[in-house]
Amino acid sequence: MAVTKEAFGKTKDGKEVSLYHVKNGNGVEAVLTDFGAILVSLFVKNAKGEVKDVVLGFDKVEDYEKNPSFFGSTIGPNANRIGGCKCVIEGKEYNLPNNCGGSNLHSDFDKGFHKQMWTAQVLDNGVKFSYEMPDGLVVLPGNIKVSVTYTLSEDNELKIEYDGVSDKTTIFNVTNHSYFDLAGHDAGEKGALGTELTFNAANYTEMDSISVPTGKIINVKGTPMDFSAPKTIGERINADYEQMKLANGYDHNYVVDNYDGKLRKIATARNDGRTMEVFTDLPGFQFYSGNFIDKQVGKGGVNYGVRHGFCIETQFFPNSVNDPTFISPVKKAGDKYHTVTIYKFSC
C-alpha cells in the first residue's frame, strides 16, 4: 500500500490544495483532494487487466470550485432535499436556501462541505479529512466537527467513514456524490446506460413534482424501478412511468431491505469486466442516472453530458427531518455521528 501527495493548485482565495494518491498492491488507486474531501479519480482493472478511471471529475481545482454536478463531492451537513426549504429542530424553525425549485438541495451550493478546505491526515492506507463548520454557516445550528476517512484495502474495498459531533442538536446526513461509469469516465452515455444493476431494495420513496418524498413507500415490483434482478440502467430509463418522467429518468431514494443499522450490501453494478458492490449501514440510497449533468469539460478534455454517469448515494431518506415516519437524521448536541459506506471492486 502506498500513499503519496502532490500539489493541485490554489483556490481562488489563494489556499494551497493537494492531491492524495492511495494505491494498493492490485493496481486499484483512489485519488483524493483536501478541497471538498472529494474523490477525484478511481482507477480499477477489469477482467482483461485494463485499467480505467471509473469516476467523473476534473483536472483542475478551479473546476471543482464550480462543480455544478457535485462530481466526487462530500455532501453535507445534509445531503439531498429538504421540502419547503425549512425544518424545525428542537422547536426552532430554520429557513434554508431555496436552491432547487421549492426545496433545499445539498445544504448550500457555495458553503456546503463540498466547497470547503479540509485538513488532511495521511494514514497507512488512506487519508482522513477533517473540517469544522461554524454555527449557522449553512443556516443549520451548531458548531459542527466532521471527518471523512477514505481507506483502501488489499481486497479492493474503498471504505468511506463519516464521523461528526455538534454542540447543538442538528442534522447529520453526509454522503459521497461520485458519478460512476465502470466502462471508464470517458465512455459517455453508452457506457453508463450499459451498466447492469442489482439492488437489495424492494421499495422506494415516492416523490412529488419537485422530487421531495410524499411519505409514501412504493414497492418496485412490476415497475421500471425494479432492480431486484439484474437490469441495465438504459433498458427502461425512458419508460412511460410517472415517477420516472418527473425526474427524466432515475433520481429516487431506495429503501434498504431489512434495515437494522448494520453494514450490508445494497447494490451491485457490472460493466466492461468490472464489478462494484456497494455496502452501507444507512437506511437508504439515492440512485441517480445523471439526468441533469451539465455539459462541461472533464478530466483529459472529455466532454461530459446528460447520463454520462450514475450515482449510488448512501443516505437517510430525503426530507427525513420533516417526516416523522422516516428514520431521523437529527443528532442531539454531543451525540456522535458515525456511518460507513464501502465500494468494493472485482473482475
Q: Which residues are annotated as a binding site for beta-D-galactose?
A: 80-81, 177-179, 251
> Where are the alpha helices (H) located in 152-294, listed in sequence order?
188-193, 242-247
Q: Could you tell me the three cell numbers for 184?
A: 471508464
- Partners of residue 74 on adjacent β-strands: 176
CA dihedral 53, 58, 59, 60 (to 10 degrees): -160
Active site residue 185: no
For the chain, the C-alpha Rg in angstroms (whole number) is 19
Q: Is 67 left (phi over 0), alpha (psi -120 to 50) or beta?
A: left
Helices (H) and strands (E) in the chain, counts: 3, 29
First-to-last C-alpha distance (Å) of the chain: 20
Active site residue 157: no
Long-range contacts of 83-89 (CB under 8 A, 24+ apart): 83/210, 83/212, 83/213, 83/319, 83/322, 84/322, 87/171, 87/321, 87/322, 88/322, 89/140, 89/141, 89/169, 89/170, 89/171, 89/321, 89/330
Q: If DSSP codes are grouped into helix, strand and coil, which group holds residue 168?
A: coil
How far is 289 from 276, CA to CA, in rounded Å? 16
* Residue of 106, 114, 177, 252 with catalytic role: 177
* Residue of 106, 189, 252, 313 with catalytic role: 313
Instruction: Judge whether 75 and 177 are in contact, CB under 8 Å.
Output: yes
- Residue ranges for the known binding site are 80-81, 177-179, 251
* Residues forming the active site: 177, 313
